[in-house]
Amino acid sequence: MYAATLAAKLFRALMAIIAIFDLNCWQGDAINAFANNIIDEVMYIKCPNGFGVKGKCLLLYKALYRLH
């Protein structure tokens, strides 16, 4: 709840600055990635650089951002 309150105060402050200085603003929509979502299929990935062991890979349990 603290972060939501802070975000609302920040939004109001930004809107006040925009109104005081007669600035233009626009609203954009963002798409959530839903990171850490549990996946329902077996998927293996390569180990990140510096963390790998030769001949080993990782079994993925949760979704990663921009996973194709």
Residue 67: how many other CB atoms lie within 10 Å: 13
Residue boundaries of the structural domains of the chain: 2-26+33-59
Q: Which residue has the higher pLDDT, 50 or 66?
A: 50
Q: What are phi and psi of 33, to 5 degrees?
A: -90, -15
Which of 67, 10, 14 has its CA nearest to residue 43? 67
For 49-60, write each residue's pLDDT tens digit.
Answer: 888 888 889 888
For 7-51, write each residue's pLDDT tens digit.
Answer: 888 989 999 999 999 999 988 877 666 666 778 888 888 888 888
